[in-house]
Each structure stands twice: as structure tokens, then as C-alpha cells.
């Protein structure tokens, strides 16, 4: 287990917190929290073996949030001085006073035990930001050169790496220091067919990792095999027949289904959305609280959990940005909606039936300049302990399509209608794969789709996938989140031919 | 004592030990208010100073960015950039750095905003929340204002400054039963032209249009896209207009068999898609800015003067976004990205409502949502309609219909539209808030817009 970066601990965390919270207390606030963050990022991009761009960045600052007369006030700054801490605290109070004119429903927070002087570090061995740049460029450059040598016209490689440090303190006495690391390798091959003019691309299905550099080298993902196969698979896709639109049984790999879970279950069971707090931007949800315990979300094979504690999860934390300890819980059990994702203000009002009136730890801000909002936990579809492997699921299909990898995704603002594509699609005939298809997208309504879930695969098909850039809120925030899922079999799903969709 | 941004620039240039150096300082203040269910939900006032140091050593470079409020913090960024540049390999886009002198305003202080920018809007909002409550409507929305002052300095003598005001507003209204939804929104530079009262009135009008509800199946419909929806689509087209991607054979602007389609008629005659840093009301940085190189930008081009650029002119592809490096390969001028976008159609007049008035049987949209690329070869996009699809019969709006998922290509739409309106400031619902707010677009009427399936979302 790694230690918290000493250079973060050397910052005046406690002193600035005491100054800011003390100043806020002077105004009679009912709650105040202080959050000092440092987010270090490195983004590398390589094209055809050559470094295209390398950018290091660091976002350092702090925020003060107050509750005054039932209204929120939030302000942030970057100068790590006592004077600036006082100024930011006073600004937050000023903002709360402006906000009070427009706050018709006083904000209250669910209680949370005090967590005094605690420290938490995510599960990783080697901080990727400590690895020499030359090593990374050599690795990515070599990978892209191999793809071109293997038959791709061009190849791109990208590596995103993040180290997130947070210090949280509040007037109740909590004081929490945390460090997380995550990284995402992306590898994509491009090719065209001179005879037809057609072109396409195919990306690695490797997920982002809530882990360190070791995830690229310790067998967490079989990069060698995937890299060796990609150019040939891409050429085969270019030569593949275009899909006949219609209804098909789908066997969907974890690396595609994880995004379907993200969009149709993860976002739909955020309680702030269900209550209208994202209505003007990210949208609301069909899964409203009046349906809790009765909504048949999917078939009995569907068991979805929310989890802030999963090892290597991208949304895994020790404590959220309101000082709430990480937890895990059911969201859909036996196909029925049974849970939501909560922060402290929602838990106070709606959480009694959900989590005993306590938040389940889903508040998160992506930077010191942003206010914490309710964000997604790791939301995962559980495998069948005795379930088959992917071939076993394919073997049950007479006429269908096997979907591998994700590419394009879109869902409506209440999480009903979605359309997804993938990296590869294989025709299934009489239980066997029969080569690739082109131009495939599947389109469905959330509850119809999950209702058509016949079976989930066993633990051997389970992959913890995820995304680094889940967008939400105004101003916009980006959050990392994992989704674990097995392969799964869905019956009678609508499949489009995308080449027939555009031109009239 | 507060350190001035110019001091951060000079300190970075003085301390860098690399062959050359470019420093970009962005001093920014922003304020926002957000509301839902007729009450304020979140808010904030934020201040930041971000410094990017691009160090050049031999044929390579490295870029390091960070929050910096002191010269010591900048020195740490410079040291990191110098160290990384010394180890970097040859950059494929290497070129001579842009040379120049100090601009007359370089020494001016940064501009600022504060929560006070919303004084009038906030007062109106409180009143509109009470009115909405009384009249059985629910309001949800967001206002945002930011002032960013950018300072650029280089070891070749360049000293540039640009002040960028960015603001936008948006409000969604729903009936109390949550069965109808409407949206209005736009961009602004200073909120002097924004009225929460007018927003609420416009929403009430639109919710009135939805008092009659009709259900329609998927299919192709004669459809009026208002300027905001056209902006949603054209921004995607703009982002796909990278020269290198096209030359590599990977975009809708690629010529089958190789190269980009420069000079080819790719959309209808009379269509012009252009960017101009001096476009009235949409003014943006007049010089190139790149913290890192990409397929469309180069750190070596920092400070390059931006000229008005027509990407499509009379329907022909006349330029793609490119660096000096790719320009040398394509034989075309260097045309870096510009932070605004204007679509004009020769001879077009009228508003979206004027175009709808000319329809016998069709649809008038409000805005589009969750737009994603499905196929780069045709630039096929998918997305949803949102917050008001209205049925038009005999030129009149007769009610609201269900939402749809659509699958369409912006390039294809620019070939198939039957009528266009006057170009006006337009704010993309999808991309305007976080990425690209400075757009001016006409309404377009498309006789066969592909509504691929029905969405139950309200």
C-alpha cells in the first residue's frame, strides 16, 4: 500500500482549514466544510510511433462551502495563505446570502459520524506519474509501431494518468486525507480499403484502471494478444458484410455492457436526477422514488450493486467529499429497483427508506474549484456464481450477434431510449460465431432491454470496466467510475444498420 | 502581496534553461447560480490562475501546466518543463516559434467578474420562482459568467494579452405534472442583455404550445431546426474538420483514395461556414493558443495571428484546421482553430417560426441532446430531441409531440435542407456550456429529417 504523497502533506492543510472554518463560524453558519485538493495529471499521445504531445498539469486550490440560513454558499481560491482562506470563507458567506433570496426549500444534511484525523490511500503499487516519461513514450511508441507493422495504416496511443489528493475538514470535527491514482491506456488502429474507399478504426477493449503503473505490466490485461490481433481484426471488419437490420439475440461482452450499465442504470438511479436536480442539464430519470421496491427494472437475472469500496474501482474512496465513509448496497435486486445513490442533503430528506437516513457516500467534486454534487458509485452487474462462459452464452443463440467493445453511446434525458455501437460485431448462427459484421448499432428502451436479459455469465466473464470522463452538473464536472459486469445474453433486441440511417 | 500575471510570464521566461520557451497564463474568475424545483440548488464564485510552460529543447518539447499564484510555483513548473523537454524525442510538428513584440495592452491588469454580475437576474429569479409555484410550473436552470484574461509570452519576444468574457444562461420549464417541458437559453458577454423575467415568459409560452399532446411514430419528417439545434450539429462538423485526419483518410472530408477534399463541392452552393475572431458579438482570441500539440494544433504555433477563415465557401471545402506543419504537407495555408463559428446561407431570411409558418405538415424542434458520432466516414451522428418538439399544421403550431432519437449527418443536412433563415447568435444546448459557446447560425428546414425511433422521455 502506498503512502500519501509527502509533498501534499507538507501543504498547510490543517492551518488553512482552521482559519477558513473559524471565519465561517463567525457568521453563524450551521455547516461549513473545507476541501483542499491537488490533482496531478499527465496526458500522453503518440501517433505511429512518434510522440505527438505530452502535457503535465496540476490543479491545486481549496474550497469553502457553508450552509447559512438553509442556503448554500460556495467559493474557491488558489493562494494557500491565511488571508486567502479568510477571503474565500467570507465570499462563500456572501454567496450564501445572495442565494438565500432564491432558496425556497432550506437545505439540511443527514448526520454522519465524525471521522477525525483519518487517512486513506487507494490500491496501487507504482504511481504512474513517478515513471519516467521516456519509458512511457517507449512503451506507447512501440505499441503503435507494432500496429502499423501488423497492417494498420495508422495507429494512435494515449495514456491518461491521474493522482488525486484531497484533504477534507468540517465544523463537526471530521478531518480526512486521501490519495487515489488511476490511469487509462488507449490504443487505436486505423485502416482503409483503397478499392472501396471505406475506412474504419478499432480500439483496444482495455478498461481504465483504478490502479498504478503495474496494471500495464502485471497481466491485468493481455495487451500482447490484443495488439497482435487488432490489425487483422480491423481488416476483417473492413471486408465484413453490412448487417441486415432487424431483431437479434445479443451476447454482449463486459467491455461493451459496462457502458450500457453506466447510462441506463448508473445515471438512472442517481437520486438527484430522479428528483429533478439535473433536469435542465443532464436530465432526470424514469426510475423515480415512487417506484422504489416495485419497478421491474429488468429480468430476475439482474442484480446491480452500488459500491464505493471495490478494489481498483475508479469511484472507490475511503470517504466522499462530504466526509461520508464508503459503502456498498443493492440498487436492483432480482430485477426490482431497491436503491439509489445519495448525498447528505438527499439522504436527510429521502434516505430514511433507503439507507437508514444516512448518505451512502456519493458526493464528489472533480476539482477544488467545483462544488460537490451527487456522483456515481461503482455500479456493477453481478455475475451468476454458476454461470457459463461467453461461449456458453453464445451456444444458446440460434440467430444473433456477439458485441465486443464500446464505441458510440447515447441515451435520452430520462434514460429510456438508448443507442450503442461497439468495436466488433460477430454474427451468431446456431450457437457459433460466423465472422464479423459492419454498421451495427443496437437501440432499445431501458426496461425492455433489461427485461430481455435471459442470463448473465459466470465470474470468469466478469470485467471491471469504466470511464474516466463521466460528465454531469453545471458547471460541468468529470468523474471516474467503474462498472463491473459479466457477459450477458439478451433476447430479441432491435439492431440498426448505421449506413442506412443517415442519407435520405 | 499578489503577483501580477505578467510577472509570472516574465519569471518563467527568465528562469527557463531550455532553448526556447512559451508561457501561457490564464487568469480567470467565474460565478454561477443553479436552480431546480423552483429553488436555488448550488452556486459558486471561483478564482484561478493557470500557467502553462512549454519548453523547447532541440527538436523536442514538453508542456507542464499548473495552478500558480507565486513565482516559486511558476519556477517549479518551468523546472519540470525544462527537465521533460531535455528528455523528449523529436516532435513531428517542430517549427520556428512565432516571433513578435509586446502588444500595447500587455501590461494591463486582468479583468474580473463576481457574483454581482447576477444582481438583476437573481432578483428576477426569486420573483419568477414564486410566480411559477403559483402558476403550477417548475423552473430549472443555470447562469454562468467568466472573465478569462490570457497572457502569452515567448522567448522570441512575443507578449500578447486577450480578455475573453464568456457567459450563458439556460432555463427549463415543466408543468407541475411533469408531462411537458420547454427550454430557452443563450450566450452573453456581460448579462446586461439577460432577463430572467423574459426567460420565464418564453417558457410559459412554449408550455402553452404543449397544452395539446400528440404522439407520432418514428419516420422522416419535414423539420425546422432552430439556430440552437443547428449549432449543436455544426460544432460537431467543425470539430471533425482537422486537416491531418482528413489527409490520413479518416474523416468525411477525406478523398477516397487519399488526401483531403479541398476545393470539392461537399454541401449545397450558397453555404458558408466560417470563423472570424472579430465577428461582432462573438469576439474571441485573435491568436493561436495550444498548451499541447494535437491533430489540429501545435505548440510551435502559439501566438500565430488568426485571420477570418471560411471552412466551407459556396458549398466547397476551402479550409481545414491545421498547423503550419500540416499546411506544409497539404500545400494549403495554416488555419488553426478559431473559437467561434458562423453558418450563413446566401439569400436566406427569417426566423425558425417564419420557416415553420411555411410548412403544411411538419415539426419544429427546440434543441438536441446527447449527440455522439456513429460513423466518421459519413459523419453520421445520433442524438435526441429535447424539451419541446412541436407539430406544425398549415403553418401553425398545433401541439407538442413525443421526443425522438435521430440519426443524421450535419454534412448531409447541409446538402438536403430546403429553406434557411437569417443567421443569428445561437447557443448550442449540447456543447455551448462547457466547450463552444460562440456560434451564430440560421434556422434550417430539412424535408426528410430521420427520426429513427421514439423516446418516451418528457
A10/A13 Cα distance (integer angstroms): 8
Architecture of domain B5-207: 2-Layer Sandwich (3.30)
Cα dihedral B241, B244, B246, B251 sign: negative
CB contact under 8 A, A76 and B88: no
Cβ of A138 under 8 Å from any chain B Cβ? no
- Whether residue A92 contacts residue A65, with contact meaning beta carbons closer than 8 Å, is answered with yes
Interface test with A, best of B3, B22, B24, B48 (most A CBs within 10 A): B48
Interface test with A, best of B4, B32, B370 (most A CBs within 10 A): B370
Average pLDDT, chain B: 96
CB contact under 8 A, A74 and B45: yes
B317/A401 Cα distance (integer angstroms): 39
Cβ-based contacts of B380 with chain A (< 8 Å)? 498, 501-502
Q: Closest chain A residue to B369 measured between Cα atoms?
A: A412
Query: According to the model, what pLDDT value does residue A103 have?
Result: 86
Cβ-based contacts of B47 with chain A (< 8 Å)? 76-78
Query: According to the model, what pLDDT value does residue A504 have?
Result: 63
Angle formed at CA B6 by CA B155 and CA B339, multiple of 5 degrees:
80
Cβ-based contacts of A202 with chain B (< 8 Å)? none
SS3 B108: coil
CB contact under 8 A, A59 and B373: no
Q: Closest chain B residue to A39 measured between Cα atoms?
A: B66
Q: Closest chain B residue to A197 measured between Cα atoms?
A: B256
- Distance, in angstroms, between A433 CA and closest chain B CA? 24
Say which of B62, B68, B140 has its CB closest to residue A280: B140
CB contact under 8 A, A408 and B372: yes
- Distance, in angstroms, between B305 CA and closest chain A CA? 22
Map out the domains of chain A as residue ranges: 6-239, 246-503
CB contact under 8 A, B126 and A199: no
- Distance, in angstroms, between A457 CA and closest chain B CA? 28
Q: How far apart are the first and last CA of chain A?
A: 58
Grid coordinates of B248: 490520413
- Distance, in angstroms, between B441 CA and closest chain A CA? 22
The residue assigned the cell 489540429 is: B296
Q: Closest chain B residue to A105 measured between Cα atoms?
A: B39
Query: According to the model, what pLDDT value does residue A101 have?
Result: 83
Q: Which has the minimum average pLDDT: A349-353, B105-109, B190-194? A: A349-353
Cβ of A101 under 8 Å from any chain B Cβ? yes
- Interval A383-430: pLDDT, tens: 999 999 999 999 999 999 999 999 999 999 999 999 999 999 999 999
Q: Closest chain B residue to A192 measured between Cα atoms?
A: B249
CB contact under 8 A, A476 and B433: yes
Query: According to the model, what pLDDT value does residue A20 have?
Result: 98
DSSP H/E element including A391: helix A390-394
Is residue A489 predicted with pLDDT exceeding 80? yes
Query: According to the model, what pLDDT value does residue A374 have?
Result: 96
CB contact under 8 A, B382 and A71: no
CB contact under 8 A, B39 and A102: yes
- Interval B315-346: pLDDT, tens: 999 999 999 999 999 999 999 999 999 999 99
Say which of A102, A286, A421 has its CB closest to residue B40: A102
Interface test with B, best of A50, A56, A497 (most B CBs within 10 A): A56
Query: How many Cβ pairs within 8 Å bridge chains A and B?
Result: 286
Map out the domains of chain B as residue ranges: 5-207, 212-458
Is this prediction's ipTM beyond 0.90? Answer: yes
Query: Mean pLDDT across the stretch A291-311?
Result: 97
What secondary structure does DSSP assign to A259-306, as a single string? HHHIIIIIGGGBHHHHTTTTTTTT---S--GGGTTT-B-S-TT--EEE
Query: Mean pLDDT across the stretch A36-49?
Result: 94
SS3 B319: coil
Q: Closest chain A residue to B74 measured between Cα atoms?
A: A58
CB contact under 8 A, A102 and B126: yes
Interface test with A, best of B384, B412, B454 (most A CBs within 10 A): B384
Query: According to the model, what pLDDT value does residue A412 have?
Result: 98
Cβ of A310 under 8 Å from any chain B Cβ? no
Q: Closest chain B residue to A346 measured between Cα atoms?
A: B41
Cβ-based contacts of A476 with chain B (< 8 Å)? 433-434
CB contact under 8 A, A58 and B454: no
Angle formed at CA B102 by CA B99 and CA B106, multiple of 5 degrees:
135
CATH topology classification for A6-239: PmbA/TldD fold (3.30.2290)
CB contact under 8 A, A137 and B126: no
Cα dihedral B234, B236, B242, B245 sign: negative
- Whether residue B143 contacts residue B33, with contact meaning beta carbons closer than 8 Å, is answered with yes
DSSP B177: T
SS3 A351: coil
Grid coordinates of A275: 428528483
pTM for the model stands at 0.95
- Interval B128-164: pLDDT, tens: 999 999 999 999 999 999 999 999 999 999 999 999 9
Say which of A73, A419, A503 has its CB closest to residue B412: A503
Interface list for A 340-399 with B (CB within 8 A): 369-371, 373
Q: Closest chain B residue to A413 measured between Cα atoms?
A: B457
CB contact under 8 A, A57 and B171: no
Query: Mean pLDDT across the stretch B27-49?
Result: 92
Q: Exposed/middle/buried for B195, CB within 10 Å: 0-12, 13-18, 19+? A: middle
- Interval B230-280: pLDDT, tens: 999 999 999 999 999 999 889 999 998 889 999 999 999 999 999 999 999
- Distance, in angstroms, between A225 CA and closest chain B CA? 26
CB contact under 8 A, B405 and A474: no
Enumerate the H helices of B66-179 as residue ranges: 71-87, 119-134
Query: Mean pLDDT across the stretch B77-81?
Result: 95
- Enumerate the β-bridge partners of residue A102: none
- Interval A177-221: pLDDT, tens: 999 999 999 999 999 998 888 999 999 999 999 999 999 989 999
What percentage of chain B's residues is helix, strand, coil (to nearest 5)?
Answer: 20, 40, 40
Length of chain A: 504
Residue A105's pLDDT band (boundaries 50, 70, 90)? confident
The pLDDT > 70 percentage for chain A reads: 100
Is residue B2 predicted with pLDDT exceeding 80? no
Query: According to the model, what pLDDT value does residue A51 have?
Result: 83
A300: left (phi over 0), alpha (psi -120 to 50) or beta: alpha
CB contact under 8 A, B294 and A75: no
CB contact under 8 A, B456 and A71: no
Query: Mean pLDDT across the stretch B358-365?
Result: 98
DSSP A110: -
Q: Closest chain B residue to A407 measured between Cα atoms?
A: B374
- Distance, in angstroms, between B300 CA and closest chain A CA? 12
B358/B7 Cα distance (integer angstroms): 59
Interface list for A 256-275 with B (CB within 8 A): 275
Is residue B308 predicted with pLDDT exceeding 80? yes
Query: According to the model, what pLDDT value does residue B434 have?
Result: 86
Amino acid at each position: 500500500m502506498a503512502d500519501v504523497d509527502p509533498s501534499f502533506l507538507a501543504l498547510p492543510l490543517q492551518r488553512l482549514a482552521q482559519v477558513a472554518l473559524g471565519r465561517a463560524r463567525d457568521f453563524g453558519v450551521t455547516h461549513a466544510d473545507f476541501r483542499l485538493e491537488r490533482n496531478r495529471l499527465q496526458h500522453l499521445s503518440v501517433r505511429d510511433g512518434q510522440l505527438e504531445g505530452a502535457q503535465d498539469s496540476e490543479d491545486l486550490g481549496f474550497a469553502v462551502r457553508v450552509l447559512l440560513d438553509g442556503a448554500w454558499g460556495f467559493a474557491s481560491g488558489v493562494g494557500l495563505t491565511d488571508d486567502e482562506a479568510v477571503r474565500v470563507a467570507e465570499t462563500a458567506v456572501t454567496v450564501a446570502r445572495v442565494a438565500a433570496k432564491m432558496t425556497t426549500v432550506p437545505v439540511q444534511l443527514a448526520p454522519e459520524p465524525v471521522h477525525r484525523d483519518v487517512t486513506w490511500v487507494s490500491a496501487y503499487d507504482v504511481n504512474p506519474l513517478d515513471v519516467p516519461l521516456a519509458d512511457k513514450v517507449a512503451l506507447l511508441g512501440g505499441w503503435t509501431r507494432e500496429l502499423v507493422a501488423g497492417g494498420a495504416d495508422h495507429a494512435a496511443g494515449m495514456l491518461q494518468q491521474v493522482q488525486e489528493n484531497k484533504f477534507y475538514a468540517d465544523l463537526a470535527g471530521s478531518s480526512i486525507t486521501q490519495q487515489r491514482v488511476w490511469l487509462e491506456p488507449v490504443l487505436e488502429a486505423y485502416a482503409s480499403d483503397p478499392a472501396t474507399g471505406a475506412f474504419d478504426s478499432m480500439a483496444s477493449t482495455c478498461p481504465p484502471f483504478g490502479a498504478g503503473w503495474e496494471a500495464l505490466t502485471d497481466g491485468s490485461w493481455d495487451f500482447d494478444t490484443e495488439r497482435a490481433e487488432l490489425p487483422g481484426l480491423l481488416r476483417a471488419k473492413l471486408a465484413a458484410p453490412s448487417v441486415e437490420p432487424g431483431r437479434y439475440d445479443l451476447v454482449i461482452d463486459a467491455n461493451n455492457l459496462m457502458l450500457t450499465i453506466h447510462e441506463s442504470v448508473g445515471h438512472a438511479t442517481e437520486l438527484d436526477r430522479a428528483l429533478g436536480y439535473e433536469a435542465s442539464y443532464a436530465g432526470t430519470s424514469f426510475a423515480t422514488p415512487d417506484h422504489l421496491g416495485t419497478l421491474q427494472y429488468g429480468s430476475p437475472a439482474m442484480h446491480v450493486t452500488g459500491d464505493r469500496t471495490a478494489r481498483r474501482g475508479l469511484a472507490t474512496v475511503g470517504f466522499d467529499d462530504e466526509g461520508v465513509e464508503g459503502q456498498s448496497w443493492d440498487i436492483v435486486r432480482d430485477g426490482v429497483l431497491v436503491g439509489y445513490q445519495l448525498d447528505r442533503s438527499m439522504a436527510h430528506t429521502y434516505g430514511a427508506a433507503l439507507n437508514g437516513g444516512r448518505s451512502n457516500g456519493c458526493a464528489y467534486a472533480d476539482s477544488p474549484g467545483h462544488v460537490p454534487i451527487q456522483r456515481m458509485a461503482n455500479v456493477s452487474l453481478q455475475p451468476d456464481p454458476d454461470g457459463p462462459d461467453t461461449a456458453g452464452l453464445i451456444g444458446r443463440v440460434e440467430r444473433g450477434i456477439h458485441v465486443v467493445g464500446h464505441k458510440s453511446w447515447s441515451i435520452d434525458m430520462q434514460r429510456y431510449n438508448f443507442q450503442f455501437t461497439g468495436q466488433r460485431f460477430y454474427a451468431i448462427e446456431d450457437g457459433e460465431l460466423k465472422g464479423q459484421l459492419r454498421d451495427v448499432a443496437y437501440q432499445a428502451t431501458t426496461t425492455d432491454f433489461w427485461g430481455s436479459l435471459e442470463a448473465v455469465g459466470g465470474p470468469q466473464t466478469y470485467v471491471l470496466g469504466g470511464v474516466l470522463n463521466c460528465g454531469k452538473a453545471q458547471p460541468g464536472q468529470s468523474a471516474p467510475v467503474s462498472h463491473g459486469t459479466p457477459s450477458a445474453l439478451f433476447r430479441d433486441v432491435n439492431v440498426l444498420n448505421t449506413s442506412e440511417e443517415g442519407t435520405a | 502581496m499578489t503577483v501580477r500575471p505578467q510577472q509570472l510570464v516574465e519569471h518563467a521566461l527568465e528562469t527557463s534553461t531550455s532553448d526556447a520557451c512559451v508561457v501561457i497564463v490564464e487568469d480567470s474568475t467565474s460565478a454561477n447560480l443553479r436552480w431546480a424545483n423552483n429553488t436555488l440548488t448550488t452556486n459558486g464564485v471561483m478564482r484561478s490562475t493557470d500557467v502553462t510552460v512549454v519548453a523547447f529543447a532541440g527538436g523536442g518539447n514538453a508542456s507542464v501546466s499548473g495552478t500558480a499564484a507565486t513565482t516559486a510555483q511558476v519556477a517549479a513548473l518551468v523546472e519540470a518543463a525544462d527537465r521533460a523537454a531535455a528528455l523528449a524525442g523529436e516532435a513531428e510538428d517542430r517549427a520556428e516559434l512565432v516571433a513578435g513584440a509586446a502588444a500595447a495592452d500587455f501590461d494591463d491588469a486582468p479583468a474580473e467578474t463576481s457574483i454581482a454580475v447576477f444582481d438583476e437576474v437573481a432578483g428576477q429569479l426569486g420573483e419568477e420562482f414564486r410566480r411559477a409555484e403559483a402558476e403550477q410550473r417548475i423552473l430549472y436552470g443555470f447562469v454562468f459568467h467568466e472573465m478569462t484574461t490570457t497572457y502569452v509570452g515567448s522567448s522570441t519576444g512575443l507578449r500578447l494579452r486577450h480578455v475573453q468574457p464568456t457567459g450563458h444562461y439556460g432555463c427549463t420549464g415543466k408543468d407541475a405534472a411533469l408531462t411537458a417541458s420547454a427550454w430557452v437559453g443563450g450566450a452573453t458577454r456581460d448579462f446586461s442583455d439577460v432577463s430572467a423575467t423574459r426567460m420565464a415568459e418564453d417558457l410559459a409560452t412554449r408550455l402553452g404550445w404543449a397544452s395539446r399532446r400528440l404522439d407520432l411514430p418514428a419516420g422522416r419528417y419535414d423539420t425546422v431546426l432552430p439556430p440552437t439545434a443547428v449549432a449543436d450539429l455544426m460544432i460537431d462538423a467543425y470539430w471533425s474538420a482537422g486537416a491531418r485526419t482528413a489527409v490520413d483518410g479518416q474523416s468525411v472530408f477525406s478523398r477516397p483514395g487519399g488526401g483531403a477534399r479541398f476545393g470539392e463541392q461537399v454541401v449545397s452552393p450558397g453555404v458558408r461556414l466560417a470563423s472570424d475572431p472579430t465577428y461582432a458579438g462573438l469576439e474571441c482570441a485573435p491568436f493561436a493558443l495550444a498548451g499541447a500539440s494535437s491533430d489540429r494544433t501545435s505548440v510551435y504555433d502559439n501566438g500565430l495571428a488568426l485571420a477570418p477563415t471560411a471552412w466551407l465557401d459556396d458549398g466547397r471545402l476551402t479550409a481545414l484546421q491545421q498547423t503550419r506543419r500540416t499546411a506544409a504537407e497539404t500545400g494549403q495555408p495554416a488555419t488553426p482553430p478559431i473559437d467561434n463559428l458562423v453558418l450563413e446561407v446566401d439569400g436566406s431570411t427569417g426566423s425558425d417560426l417564419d420557416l415553420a409558418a411555411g410548412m403544411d405538415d411538419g415539426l419544429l424542434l427546440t434543441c438536441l441532446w446527447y449527440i455522439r458520432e456513429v460513423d466518421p466516414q459519413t459523419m453520421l451522428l445520433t442524438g435526441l430531441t429535447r424539451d419541446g418538439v412541436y407539430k406544425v399544421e398549415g403553418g401553425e403550431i398545433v401541439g407538442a409531440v413525443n421526443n425522438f432519437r435521430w440519426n443524421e449527418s450535419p454534412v448531409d443536412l447541409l446538402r438536403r435542407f430546403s429553406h434557411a433563415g437569417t443567421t443569428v447568435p445561437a447557443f448550442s444546448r449540447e456543447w455551448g456550456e462547457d466547450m463552444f459557446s460562440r456560434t451564430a447560425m440560421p434556422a434550417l428546414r430539412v424535408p426528410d429529417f430521420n427520426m429513427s425511433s421514439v423516446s418516451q422521455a418528457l
